[in-house]
Structures are given as structure tokens and as C-alpha cells.
Chain A
């Protein structure tokens, strides 16, 4: 489904990604972790070309991102993305947030888009908030709406960029619950997260990044059992102490 081949990226002189290679098969849930500044958010944003890369290639569902003929907006509309800071559109109601791209990008009628949007809103347990604006919702609620918004496009896979990092602790679980449910339904997912409980529960593989490189790419059993690199062992021991 997603193939990342030898991707390297520079910000000016500074290299943020070095020859990253991995792949996500259909139905797999990949968790990407690593210390801050290790390039994990940058890597996941390369998957839908929100961040350009200078070397290598990313192929999503058979479509190469480095091919200049690729219709990037169309490709992005098929890949759902959830951001650290939710990024709901603050000037639109929750319903509008859920329907605008369906109408403007997929060409659905506004009635159909509304049906799809409200069904998904019900699924994340927020039907009562349909008429409100994002600013009136808690962080956890906003993030659940953001997941529903991404799902409204019927994506072939979902990307999560630290979806719980900006949340108050008591709201983390409501978001993770939605993600776990999604994973169990067979959604292909790539998640940048430090929620190791989530990784243990649903991940197929865990990728550990450091200094822009993929240091470990293991089954979760192998990763949590005995990570091979010292850096990953250190990282795990630090975040699992709590």
C-alpha cells in the first residue's frame, strides 16, 4: 500500500531524513516512534507529499509521488491524515468541517456528504456537537472530529502525526479508543506516536527513528522483546518507566 524507498530530505544544508526505507502492507498498523527531532513527523508527511523530499521515492497504492505527472491533490484526497494540533477549520461548524472536502473534492451532493459526515460523527460519539464550532470543543473531541473528517473521504489508508501529543492526559484514551477500533476494522495505518500501549495492542510493526534514520523496523514482539540498537533500548527504557 505504502512504499517508502530510500527517501532523503534536506532543509538547506541540514539533512532531516537519510535513506529511509520501509513499507506498509494493506491492513497493517505501523507505529513510528523515536526521540523528538528524529524526523518521524517529517517522514509521515512525506507519505502524502505535504513535505517534499529531494531523493528517493514514495509509492502509495502504486502511484509514485516523485512522478511530476502525479495529481497530488487527488492522491492526498485518498490518504487520510490526522494532525497533532487537530487542524479543524476554525471558521466552519463541525458539520461543515466534515462535509466541505466531500463536496468540493469528491463531488458528493451536500445531502450525501451530510449523511456520511453525521454517521461518522456518531461513530466517534459526538453527534450532539454537529452544529458547534471547533473552538467550543475539548481537545479530545476536536481530535475525534478530525479523525471523522479524514474518514469522510473514504481513505485507502490513514496517517496519524502524534495525534495525542497535544491532548490533556484524561483525553488521550478517547482518541486512542477510536484509533484502536479503526485498526481492528482493518484500516491501513501509519501512526507517529509515543503511546506504547497502543503499539502493543494493535501495531503490526514498530519503526524506531533516530537522527533522520530508520534504526529499527521490527515486529512489535521483537521490538518490545529486545530492540537490537542501543539507542532504541535507551529510548524504550526512558518512556516505559512511567
Chain B
């Protein structure tokens, strides 16, 4: 049966797959950057002494974490154009969705990170005359970020895999590209095997990187 396989279609569709992979990577990077920034703000809001702010942030995070990602992707795709009154392409819709969705997960990581910074450090920052935002910027967040770096990266690997769900709204990521190419050449199995391999190689190397990073951080501490 294996003799029936024709892997030559792979070389022909490489440029097409490469374009898909580029979008997957772009989506991952945008969602990671936006998600960590927005997520950090959410974490600060949740830890704030202002009750309504903390509750609003907690409600947002808990809602996002309780809905399947595919549904969020579909809802954003359908709802955002209604809200803004402008049509929105699948690609930009996907980026907005992932930023908003991943922020909920990153915020939980950053919240743990902020709480991992000893109280004495906060006191030391205050004693030097730092305001709340200065002590966050110069003392707490850099340490929180550093402590959580391996977990943030692990979450990013999950995010990288989850981006494949944008195929639901027809956004041309790596998975969608392979599906199209597979149909064009009528070789879906070869395509899916090849793409699975690409996902595996990227995710596996990244997780090895995280492992190394963890060891390095362990030495510094």
C-alpha cells in the first residue's frame, strides 16, 4: 500500500505550503505578543485592589477559558463585522481572536508570576520611592516574566498548534494550505503526513529549547 504513495507532489506544492506556514508563524507571533501584553494587563487588573476591575478581569478570563476555541474563532468571525460595521478578512479576524483568547491563558501565567515575586521585593521597590506602576515595571514584572518564561513558551507551543483551528473560517494557514494542496493533487494523505511532520519538528524543537532554558534559569537562580 505504501508503494502507492507519491511524495513528489510535496515538492510541487512546497511554495504553497510555505505561504501557509508563514501565516501560521505570523499568527502565532502576533497572538503571543498581543496575548502577553493584554494578558499582563488582565493579570494586573485581577490582582488590583479595585474590586470592580478585578471582577471584570476575572469574568473575562473565566469566560474565555470555558468556551471551546473553535467557537470563539467562529463567533469572532461572525460578530466582529457586525460590531464594527466593516467586513473583516479571515486572517485579521483570526489574529484578533487569538490575541483575545490567548490573553486569558497568558494572564493566568502572569498572575502566578507576579505572585511568585516575594513581598519583600515589592517593599524594596516602594521604599526606594517607586510608584505602583514604576515598581511593577522595574521590579515585579521583569522578575515575574523571567520566572514564567518557560511556561509562557510552553503556552506558545500550544498556541502554535491551536492556530490550525483557523481552518474553520477558511484562513490559509499551514493546515488549510495542505488541505487545498492535497485536494489539488488528489494526494491528501501524503500532504497530511508531511504537514504533521512539520508541526512535530517545530513543536519538538521549541520544547527542547524550553527545556534548555529551564536549566539555564535554574543555574541563575
Contacts and interface: CB of A to CB of B under 8 A. Distances in A.
B123 A101 contact: no
Contact of A87 (B123, B130, B220): B123
B63 interface: no
A104 B221 contact: no
The secondary structure that dominates the B interface is helix
B131 interface: yes
A150 B22 CA distance: 51
A50 B129 contact: no
Contacts of A235: none
Given A89-B139, A105-B134, A48 B127 contact: yes
A80 B128 CA distance: 7
Contacts of B118: 85, 87
B138 interface: yes
Interface residues of B, number: 20
A153 B124 contact: no
B128 A91 contact: no
B142 A91 contact: yes
B146 A91 contact: yes
A121 interface: no
A73 interface: yes
A154 B12 CA distance: 71
B115 interface: no
A102 to B, nearest CB: 9
Given A76-B129, A135-B220, A90 B123 contact: no
A87 B121 contact: yes
Interface in B87-127: 118, 120-121, 123-127
A83 interface: yes
Interface in A80-97: 80-81, 83, 85, 87-91
B221 A101 contact: no
Interface of B: 118, 120-121, 123-131, 134, 138-139, 142-143, 146, 220-221
Interface of A: 45, 48, 50, 73-74, 76-81, 83, 85, 87-91, 100-101, 104-106, 135, 149-150, 153
List of 9 A-B pairs having minimum Cβ-Cβ separation, nearest first:
A77-B129, A87-B124, A101-B128, A81-B127, A105-B129, A87-B120, A73-B131, A76-B129, A50-B123
